[in-house]
Amino acid sequence: MGFNNEGIEAAVARLRRKRSNIIIGGNIGKNKVTLNERAVNDYEICFEKLFPYVDYFAVNVSSPNTPGLRELQEKGPLTVVLKRLQELNSQKENRKPILLKIAPDLTNKQLDDIILIISETKIDGVIATNTTIDRSGLKVTKKIRLESIGNGGLSGQPIKEKSTEVIKYLSKESGQAFPIIGVGGIHSAKDAIEKLDAGATLVQVYTGFIYEGPAFVKKINKALLKR
């Protein structure tokens, strides 16, 4: 399915109608059919078209739903993409924050490369993490059942510990050199605090927001204020 949406023009048309001051992030990635060697062109197009309408960018190189996309997390291709986006950003009158959205399945060596790349490209931070391709956190273990569910990214509570460990590693090994947005398996205020204690500066909720409902955000904020 890749990034299942109607494309950049449809997104821009909707964002033009925005009348509130809600913070909007532009989650950008390459098209499913675009070869990785030309991926930087897709990121550039999305960046330029969304720039007037979003407050920050999430450079998504970690969605497991787009074949080959995660290969862009390797040092060489990732540096090319981020350097180009920073070049475009520096040409703007008012630059916007660029954050890198990474997978929870990276090795420590790959995370070390991420820290180095952020230092070199001077992007503004990391979103840790996207969904996982690992199925070991599921209660459903029968292979035939898992195959019937299909491939794709697994979100929610099964990735909670994975994402927290990535946050902890990045924060410690970088010496808290950049902001980290913690995401993955946050289903309670306690989970959100756990991410912050691990080194996150902010948190995002996706699956937890669906299951816990709109009041979930208020519960998290109340817990943070008490803290």
Q: Work out the pLDDT band at 1, boundaries 50, 70, 90.
A: low
Q: Work out the pLDDT band at 26, boundaries 50, 70, 90.
A: very high
Q: Which has more pLDDT, 4 or 87?
A: 87
Long-range contact pairs involving 167-171 (C-beta distance under 8 Å, separation at least 24): 167/128, 167/129, 167/195, 167/198, 167/199, 167/200, 168/198, 168/199, 169/108, 169/111, 170/111, 170/114, 170/115, 170/126, 170/128, 170/199, 171/198, 171/199, 171/200
Q: Work out the pLDDT band at 2, boundaries 50, 70, 90.
A: low
Q: Quick one: average pLDDT of 185-203?
A: 97
The alpha carbons of the chain give a radius of gyration, in whole angstroms, of 18
Burial 102-111 (b: 16+ CB within 10 A, else e): bbbbbeeeeb
Q: Work out the pLDDT band at 23, boundaries 50, 70, 90.
A: very high
Q: Quick one: average pLDDT of 73-85?
A: 92
Report the number of secondary-structure helices (H) and strands (E) in the chain.
Answer: 9, 6
Q: What is the pLDDT of residue 154?
A: 87
Q: What is the pLDDT of residue 141?
A: 67
Element (H, E) at 203: strand 202-203
Q: What is the pLDDT of residue 207?
A: 94
Q: Work out the pLDDT band at 148, boundaries 50, 70, 90.
A: confident
Sign, CA torsion 85/195/64/105 = positive
Summarised one tens digit per residue, pLDDT across range 87-130 is 999 999 999 999 999 999 999 999 999 999 999 999 999 999 99
Q: What is the pLDDT of residue 29?
A: 92
Residues 6+ apart with CB under 8 A from 140: 146, 149
Topology (CATH) of 8-226: TIM Barrel (3.20.20)
- Give the DSSP letter of residue 2: -
Given 20, 62, 63, 136, the catalytic residue: 63
Q: What is the pLDDT of residue 119?
A: 96
- β-pair type (125-128, 180-182): parallel
Annotation marks residue 63 as catalytic: yes
pTM of the model: 0.92
Q: Quick one: average pLDDT of 35-50?
A: 95
Q: Work out the pLDDT band at 5, boundaries 50, 70, 90.
A: confident
Q: What is the pLDDT of residue 167?
A: 98
Q: What is the pLDDT of residue 24?
A: 96
Q: Where are the domains of the chain?
A: 8-226
Residue with tokens 């390797």: 74
